[in-house]
A and B are shown apart, each in its own frame.
Chain A
Amino acid sequence: NAGVTQTPKFQVLKTGQSMTLQCAQDMNHNSMYWYRQDPGMGLRLIYYSASEGTTDKGEVPNGYNVSRLNKREFSLRLESAAPSQTSVYFCASSEVAYNQPQHFGDGTRLSIL
């Protein structure tokens, strides 16, 4: 009963490098989300996918791209990493986009030097 699985758990990048954060859920949820969490702040939405085949920008999309590969998987890509993208990234899913609890993975801790 894994829920939401994120890989990797930790990553260190150099400025300008690219990488993809992976997320998979096994709850047959329609909606998936990517957030970032910075010290002293709440979670901020980067991108979300209300249903398979759709993606939309959240509050802080600049510097990121996403792919909803299928109903289970939603990846986040940093094309050219910057120190300002040092953060903890969380993936979440919910049955539908509205009025539902979200289920979170344990995060990817990303440092960009």
Chain B
Amino acid sequence: SQQGEEDPQALSIQEGENATMNCSYKTSINNLQWYRQNSGRGLVHLILIRSNEREKHSGRLRVTLDTSKKSSSLLITASRAADTASYFCATDEVSNDYKLSFGAGTTVTVRA
């Protein structure tokens, strides 16, 4: 079953702007991961945040995790055309034998 749900479903921004997308989930997790998928390609792992972490950075990416609200956000700063892709959160549910559950994704379009 789909554990994570991303919001918004789609996002269109100007190059140089920041993009923020959110992920909500339903049950206790061990960790949460964010992936990027370019059109016609497989998913690429971006960042993993553990349940005892609140914030993590990787280059222009910033991820937050609020386990009390069962939500996470992914911020991409100073967006570029190459950031145009779909972004998925994946949760590692404690109750699901640690298998990953993916949300439906946020499609981000960065306009030049």
Contacts and interface: CB of A to CB of B under 8 A. Distances in A.
A99 B99 CA distance: 9
Interface residues of B, number: 25
Interface stretch (B13-21, B37-45, B68-76): B37-45
How many residues of A sit at the interface, in one of the four size bands?
20 to 34
Interface string B69-108: 0000000000000000000101010000011111111000
Closest 9 CB pairs of A and B: A104-B42, A42-B102, A101-B45, A43-B102, A98-B98, A104-B43, A106-B42, A42-B104, A42-B103
Contacts of A45: 99-100
A42 B45 contact: no
Interface residue SS majority, chain A: loop
26 contacts: A35-B102, A41-B2, A41-B104, A42-B2, A42-B88, A42-B90, A42-B101, A42-B103, A43-B88, A43-B102, A59-B1, A92-B43, A97-B98, A97-B99, A98-B30, A99-B30, A99-B31, A99-B50, A100-B48, A101-B48, A102-B43, A102-B45, A104-B42, A104-B44, A106-B41, A107-B42
Contacts of A101: 33, 45, 48
Interface of A: 4, 35, 40-45, 48, 58-59, 90, 92, 97-107
A90 B44 CA distance: 12
A99 B91 CA distance: 10
A4 B44 CA distance: 12
Nearest to B5: A42
